[in-house]
């Protein structure tokens, strides 16, 4: 695993800014521990620095994954998020008011999303892709975690949470 180049960092942060806005800084400068992004085999991982230091002793051939998988870089250098969920226009406002995404509000979802996998900028996938396609329109598909508008709704000024 290696650190990102300047071009890779720019591509990653531009993509993440579309989903989480100014909260990108909170990914790196966390109060609990420092985190960083590492690249291995064109795949982007988000990992704590303490785990990264411990993984140095593992050879590249034996290291399968490290941290949270965010996405991958294409051959042309573009960054693609791994799991994406498209919400219908009718589901945007309920989500912005901290409600979960229901199946009725689900526009599209990337293939092979495992249950409880992070959906960047949105939340946590509550089911696999095949389970999301089940006929129950009131079933919860994405559990709300955070969205771009939270900083605007924070009336106390104590931060997001």
Instruction: Label residue 41 by pLDDT band (50, 70, 90).
Output: confident
CB atoms within 10 A of CB 74: 11
- Is the pLDDT confidence value at 155 over 70? no
Instruction: Label residue 158 by pLDDT band (50, 70, 90).
Output: very low
Domains and CATH numbers, the chain: 2-73 (3.10.450.220), 85-150 (2.30.130.10)
Residue 90: partners with Cβ closer than 8 Å, 6 or more residues away: 104, 105
| Higher per-residue confidence, 17 vs 142 | 17
Q: What is the pLDDT of residue 115?
A: 72
**How far is it, in rounded angstroms, from Cα 52 to Cα 40?**
12
């Amino acid at each position: 695993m290696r650190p990102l180049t300047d071009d890779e960092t720019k591509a990653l942060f531009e993509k993440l800014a579309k989903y989480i806005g100014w909260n990108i800084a909170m990914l790196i400068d966390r109060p609990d521990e420092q985190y960083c992004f590492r690249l291995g085999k064109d795949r982007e991982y988000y990992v704590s620095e303490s785990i990264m230091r411990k993984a140095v002793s593992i050879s590249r051939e034996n290291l399968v994954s490290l941290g949270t998988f965010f996405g991958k870089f294409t051959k042309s250098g573009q960054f693609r998020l791994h799991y994406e969920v498209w919400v219908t226009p009718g589901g945007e406002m309920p989500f912005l008011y901290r409600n979960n995404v229901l199946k009725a509000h689900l526009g599209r979802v990337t293939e092979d999303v495992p249950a409880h996998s992070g959906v960047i900028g949105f939340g946590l996938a509550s089911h696999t892709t095949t389970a999301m396609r089940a006929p129950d329109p009131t079933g919860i598909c994405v559990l709300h975690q955070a969205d771009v508008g939270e900083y605007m709704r924070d009336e106390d000024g104590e931060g997001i949470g």
